[in-house]
Structure 1
């Protein structure tokens, strides 16, 4: 049998191998790639939040910018409708991949020549001060740990020789609320990295001011419980695959437990709004009005724009599965869409 690895450590190794050899965007399409309206609405959201903040600079941060599509669409919209915000932008991107940084640089240069983003390996090096942070499908890529309650005790799920192995152990570091929500035979799941990121972000927002909008696919563990068997999933060649088959050849993700992240953020001192369904958020921000305006201006694109808006907002598609959570300074007003 090969080395026994905790699930999160196995995921980390598999993800590193995958990103070193593959273009992840060949296996899935994110919301910004479906329609420019998504990035525009998040850009407008950032400006609206900034206008409520007592700071002359708009420190705009994106975590996991991908190809740079979302931030480019946001910047284009801000430059067109909010020139004061456009000139106030101080742009920071949290991205570790040199290849993706090059794509982001090109996307930003196409819409804002002369704007010089600053790249970071992690949130810690983003300069202190008020900020508005956007993160779309960032948290789902962070590794998870899983436990199963068996006969009143706990078994941690590990991986060896391409299969799951349960080992008896105490769930060290797991939030008590996560364990309390798991019944006999159920998989309790949490992401150490997602919780660490959320705690650091919430602490900073409570101290320095600002807001963060986190959009991802996930669930409400308090009302819905945990996904049966855990939420780990894989895509290979654009199709669902066995996560444990051919590690390093598939994109691995896990659904985001928004309730646990919200509890973590409150403990760190931030105000928490949501989660709300992506469809409800985007509709409140003007998804269909903006789509209609673009369709009139470019009738040859109308069908694709309308189809994309429906895909983002319809409950049976991305509208309910994808959710949004807002963390902010406790003194801040309720942000748009919440």
Structure 2
């Protein structure tokens, strides 16, 4: 997924012309509420020069909305050192173009490949639909043993799932056996390791992490791996490297990791609960007063999609962690 030929390093993947649309692409309301939330978190927990770090910024839409809505807070904007973590060179170029076009001051925006090359300042680290992209391992319990689903190839070099690797590693077995007697489990060591890095940074330098992604707290006891191309679900083995492959994020696991670093769980809730409690409806009504009928329809549809319990409102979760 992440080498030089991987999906996230080589494709135009976000937006109507890509494979999936993220919340910032649906409505400016999302980015504005996130921006106001980040400002409030900064004012209450940092209130000095800090790193604003976005993981996987897509087209830069979310950051643009954050910067535009916080223009009214000059002290906040003067305190910003913006770091964008991006591995896709094409997206990086698009981000630079979009930010230069939509934001007046971009001198304090820098692009980096990972968290290790950041200056030692307090930080607000935020990510929207980032952790779901990291690789997972799948396990199921069968006749008293744990078995891992693997991928194999037939004589025609076509990939398929095979379920024949019995888990004998003591560390993995110990972890699996502690997971609430579920018969099906997904584990992402890369996701865990990335969140460990975030927590270590916050523990050392201070700040806040804000994670938004689709996921669960209680294990659904089924496999969640899926692939998407042109906004449609596809066969996961079709056209390797050219479609989006994701899985639901285990937020219970993230919370366990954060607590293991002696961090505080500031917020954990659904996207609907978060957006409504932070004033998205009031913000929508303010914007509607300045819109024509066509614009009003777009704003209303975007708003409903963000908070709809049958769609993004319930499936997406928000986790805020502080030192």
Shared fold (TM-score greater than 0.5)? yes
- Once residues 238 and 115 of structure 2 are traced to their aligned partners in structure 1, the CA distance between those partners, rounded to angstroms, is 33
1:214-249 Cα shifts (integer Å, max 9, x gaps): 00000113xxx2342x11000122211121233223
CA contact 1:178–1:189 (8 Å) conserved in 2: no
Correspondence 1:236 to 2:229 = yes
Question: Which segments of 5 or more consecutive residues in structure 2 lack a partner in the other structure?
Answer: 154-158
Residue matched to 1:129: 121
The one of 297, 304, 307 equivalent to 1:310 is 304
Residue in structure 2 matched with residue 23 of structure 1 by the alignment: 12
Give unmatched runs, 5+ long, in structure 1: 1-10, 330-338
Report the counterpart of residue 288 of structure 1 in structure 2. 281
Look up the match of 2:156.
none
Match of 1:3 in 2: none
Q: Does 1:62 align with 2:51?
A: no
Which residue of the other structure, out of 212, 225, 247, is the alignment partner of 1:215?
212
Q: Which stretch shifts more, 53-62 or 271-280?
A: 53-62
**Match for residue 270 of structure 2 among 272, 277, 294:** 277
Deviates more, 1:21-30 or 1:43-52: 21-30
Counterparts in 2 of 1:179 and 1:250: CA distance versus 1, 3 Å: farther
Choose which of 164, 178, 181 in structure 2 pairs with 1:180.
178
By how many angstroms is 1:163 displaced?
1.1
Q: Tell me, what secondary structure is at the counterpart of 2:21?
A: coil
Alignment: residue pair count: 312
1:60-209 equivalences in 2 (<5 Å) = 60-79=52-71, 81-116=72-107, 117-161=109-153, 162-166=159-163, 167-170=165-168, 174=172, 176=174, 179-181=177-179, 183=181, 186-209=183-206
From 308, 315, 319, the counterpart of 1:325: 319
Q: Give the Å deviation of 1:130.
A: 0.7
1:250 is displaced (CA, Å) by 1.9
TM-score by length of 2: 0.90
CA contact (8 A) 2:229 2:243 kept: yes
Q: CA deviation at 1:168?
A: 1.2
Q: 2:248 maps to what in 1?
A: 255
Q: Higher mean Cα deviation, 205-214 or 67-76?
A: 205-214
| Cα distance between partner residues in 1 of 2:101 and 2:170 | 48
Normalised TM-score (structure 1): 0.86
Q: Secondary structure at the match of 1:320?
A: helix
In structure 1, how many angstroms separate the alpha carbons of the residues matched to 2:37 and 2:216? 23
SS in 2 for 1:43: helix
Q: Do structure 1's residue 34 and structure 2's residue 26 form an aligned pair?
A: yes
CA displacement at 1:27 relative to structure 2: 1.1
Q: Aligned pair in 2 of structure 1 residues 103, 174: CA closer, same or farther (>3 Å)?
A: farther
- Cα distance in 1 for partners of 2:146, 2:30 equals 42
Aligned-partner Cα distance in 2 for 1:199–1:128: 17
CA distance in 1, matches of 2:236, 2:253: 24
Given that 1:179 and 1:188 are in contact with CA atoms closer than 8 Å, whether structure 2 keeps it comes out as no
- Worse-matched range after superposition: 118-127 or 137-146: 118-127
Measured on the aligned residues, the alpha-carbon RMSD in Å equals 2.0
Q: Distance in 1 between matches of 2:114 and 2:35?
A: 22
- Alpha-carbon distance between aligned partners in 2 of 1:232 and 1:171, rounded to the nearest angstrom: 23
Q: CA deviation at 1:288?
A: 1.0
